Amino acid sequence: SRNGKRSKTVVTDIGPVEIDVPRDREGSFEPQIVKKRQRRLAGVDEMVLSLSARGLAHGEISSHLAEVYGADVSKQTISTITDSVM
């Protein structure tokens, strides 16, 4: 209870969501829903792959996510997501 917490922004299907992550000094806690160092949920990966399969360029996908969901996803992140499939 004395460890405190920090805020973390996670990109989701509905846009960026800010969550409070409790600190764990001993490193014994393993989160179940949002893993350690995870910045986006699986639905975002599927959306990026779907848009890429439809022929959109990485810049177009980035601007689409920013316009529709308010999520700032870089072209490098989109490349990482699409490369993980290959």
**Token output for 33:** 């829903």
What burial letters (b/e) apply to 48-69, b meaning 16+ CB within 10 Å?
Answer: bbebbeeebebeebbebbeeeb
CB atoms within 10 A of CB 30: 8
Task: For the chain, 86 residues long, give each residue's pLDDT as a single digit of tens.
Answer: 567 888 888 888 778 889 888 888 777 878 877 888 888 877 888 888 899 999 999 999 989 988 888 878 888 888 888 888 76
In the three-class reduction of DSSP (H, G, I as helix; E, B as strand; rest coil), residue 72 is classed as coil
**Token output for 84:** 């993980």
pTM above 0.95, yes or no: no
Give the integer Cα–Cα distance in Å for 81 and 53. Answer: 12
